[in-house]
């Protein structure tokens, strides 16, 4: 695999002169793009950053002492890589912590099940809850039940998720994670189980937040947990054989006093228009089960290394400032993203483009956008065409751009979406298996090459995209 990306670059070395697109990049810009791609495809800075974060900090749940250590780590990394204006913007975040989590079938075939509490779940009593199981094929079926129709039962939403390249299966499947515990309460159930939101067939459950931890009125809910896919299959089989399946569930998560989280920010100041900003981000927090390697250690490594290579490979810095933002408390409800948009409200007009890497470590195959003005589409496409040596194709102007881009996007900031191949992403997402060994250094380099080239171009060209 290692040489494929490198070879493909050389196959396309004639690319810079072959474009006659809607924008005339200067000879220097074309040369610099080539330099950046070559440097990135032979550099391990990004991979070492992911290794360092996942090894020296490990899991880093929002608001935890470990997330604080991650911020300290990030400041040290930025400083040693010679970034400027390194700072931490702190904010307060409610804090939830996992406790004991066990589940078992008590009859007709007693056996343990592999479960994990959903983020924000309330606790069961210390000795657990037990009830008769009722399976729903999807969230809609649970929602169609009358109030109290499931009194005393444990409801189980057994809805699977489609494996897709662009991750579109997630948006559909995640609805049950957000709503099952609240719907279960409405129908009188004592607990809710869901089939994990994920595509893995392995025996580990996928966690994830239910509603945003900052939601002041989430509504009443019951203890809620995700089952691994094979355990969900097992329950389905058992319930086919017996009308009365009983489940016992113990979950003891705690809500702790509000704690501190923060965004870590660093910059490569622009050489001519340093007040104008190209933002690239990733999130620093992770779930607690794995070490947050593909979610989102990889993104941290990609954006830090891309900006670092722009700063160290080229003779002159790009015209505009490259700002790297490592968002805190993403997983529990995009708390850092909201804080950033509030803090930099007065600068949002000066944000030329923003992008987040938060979809694992697969190769980038498409570059889409959002909020790019109609008359600027051709220019954005011309930028995309400069990335064709990396096998990246143009996307449309309706992209998400990553979770932490939500509020910037709502504020009208042009968003770029360097979309990774996510077919395997949800095999690992939010599980104990999200560890450093899953990151492929060659694929990571392709990501860094794409970010470095893209960020350099949009930071150096005079054009804006609004």
Contacts of 371 by beta carbon, 8 Å cutoff, 6+ apart:
397, 409, 412, 413, 414, 415, 465, 466
The interface region with Zn ion, picked from 152-160, 189-197, 288-296, 313-321 by CB under 5 A, is 288-296
Shortest Å, Cβ 401 to Zn ion: 13
| CA-CA-CA-CA torsion sign (348, 351, 352, 355) | negative
Question: If binding is defined by CB under 5 A, does position 417 make contact with Zn ion?
Answer: no
Token reading at 382: 């011309």
Residue 249 CB-half CA count within 13 A: 31
Q: Which one, 159 or 296, has the nearer CB to Zn ion?
A: 296
Residue 114 backbone phi and psi in degrees, to 5? -95, 115
Three state DSSP letters for 180-236: HHHHHHHCCCCEEEEECCCCCCCCCCCCCECCCCCCCCCCCCCCEEEECHHHHHHHH
The interface region with Zn ion, picked from 109-117, 238-246, 290-298, 360-368 by CB under 5 A, is 290-298
Shortest Å, Cβ 451 to Zn ion: 16
Q: Which one, 23 or 340, has the nearer CB to Zn ion?
A: 340
What is the per-residue binding string for Zn ion in 300-339, x denoting contact by CB under 5 A?
A: ----------------------------------------
Shortest Å, Cβ 184 to Zn ion: 26
Shortest Å, Cβ 300 to Zn ion: 10
Contacts of 47 by beta carbon, 8 Å cutoff, 6+ apart:
301, 439, 441, 444, 445
Question: If binding is defined by CB under 5 A, does position 295 make contact with Zn ion?
Answer: yes
The interface region with Zn ion, picked from 35-43, 187-195, 355-363, 380-388 by CB under 5 A, is 355-363
Q: Which one, 43 or 296, has the nearer CB to Zn ion?
A: 296
Count, residues near Zn ion per rule CB under 5 A: 3
Shortest Å, Cβ 13 to Zn ion: 35
Token reading at 290: 């794995």
Q: Which one, 165 or 239, has the nearer CB to Zn ion?
A: 165
User: Which of 101, 158, 231, 296 forms a contact with Zn ion (CB under 5 A)?
Assistant: 296
Shortest Å, Cβ 364 to Zn ion: 16
Is there a contact between 306 and 451 (Cβ–Cβ < 8 Å)?
A: yes
Query: Of 67, 159, 183, 330, which is the active-site residue?
Result: 330
Closest by CA to 214, choosing from 255, 172, 170, 185, is 255
Question: If binding is defined by CB under 5 A, does position 285 make contact with Zn ion?
Answer: no
330 counts as catalytic = yes
What is the per-residue binding string for Zn ion in 41-80, x denoting contact by CB under 5 A?
A: ----------------------------------------
Question: If binding is defined by CB under 5 A, does position 358 make contact with Zn ion?
Answer: yes
Catalytic residue positions? 330
Binding residues vs Zn ion (CB under 5 A): 295-296, 358
């Amino acid at each position: 695999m290692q040489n494929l990306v490198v070879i493909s670059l050389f196959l396309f070395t004639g690319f810079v002169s072959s474009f006659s697109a809607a924008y005339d990049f200067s000879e220097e810009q074309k040369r610099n793009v080539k330099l950046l791609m070559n440097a990135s495809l032979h550099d391990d800075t990004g991979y070492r950053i992911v290794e360092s974060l996942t090894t020296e900090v490990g899991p880093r749940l929002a608001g935890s002492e470990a997330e604080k250590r991650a911020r300290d780590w990030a400041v040290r990394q930025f400083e040693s890589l010679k970034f400027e204006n390194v700072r931490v913007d702190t904010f307060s975040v409610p804090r939830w912590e996992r406790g004991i989590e066990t589940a078992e079938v008590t009859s007709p075939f007693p056996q343990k099940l592999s479960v994990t509490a959903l983020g924000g779940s309330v606790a069961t009593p210390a000795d657990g809850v037990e009830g008769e199981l009722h399976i729903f094929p999807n969230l809609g079926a649970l929602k169609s039940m009358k109030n109290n129709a499931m009194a005393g039962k444990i409801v189980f939403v057994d809805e699977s998720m489609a494996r897709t390249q662009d991750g579109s299966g997630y948006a559909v499947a995640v609805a049950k994670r957000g709503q099952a515990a609240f719907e279960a309460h409405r129908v009188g159930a004592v607990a809710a189980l869901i089939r994990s939101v994920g595509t893995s067939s392995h025996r580990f459950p996928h966690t994830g937040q239910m509603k945003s931890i900052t939601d002041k009125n989430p509504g009443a809910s019951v203890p809620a947990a995700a089952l691994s896919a094979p355990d969900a299959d097992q329950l389905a089989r058992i319930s086919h054989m017996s009308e009365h399946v009983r489940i016992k569930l113990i979950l003891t998560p705690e809500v702790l006093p509000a704690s501190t989280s923060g965004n870590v920010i660093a910059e490569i100041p622009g050489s001519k228009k340093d007040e104008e900003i190209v933002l690239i981000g990733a999130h620093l927090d992770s779930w607690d089960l794995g070490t947050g390697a593909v979610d989102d250690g990889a993104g941290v490594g990609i954006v830090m290394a891309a900006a670092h290579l722009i700063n160290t490979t080229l003779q002159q810095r790009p015209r505009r400032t490259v700002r790297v933002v490592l968002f805190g408390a993403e997983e529990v409800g995009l708390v850092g993203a909201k804080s950033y948009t509030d803090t930099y409200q007065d600068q949002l007009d000066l944000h030329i483009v923003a992008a987040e890497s938060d979809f694992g470590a697969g190769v980038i195959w498409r570059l889409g956008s959002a909020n790019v003005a109609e008359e600027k589409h051709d220019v954005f496409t011309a930028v995309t065409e400069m990335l064709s040596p990396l096998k990246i194709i143009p996307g449309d102007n309706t992209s998400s751009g990553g979770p932490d881009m939500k509020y910037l996007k709502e504020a009208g900031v042009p968003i770029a979406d360097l979309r990774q191949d996510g077919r395997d992403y949800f095999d690992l997402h939010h599980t104990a298996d999200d560890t450093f060994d899953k990151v492929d250094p060659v694929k990571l380099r392709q990501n860094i090459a794409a970010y470095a080239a893209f960020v350099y171009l949009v930071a150096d060209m005079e054009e804006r995209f609004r």
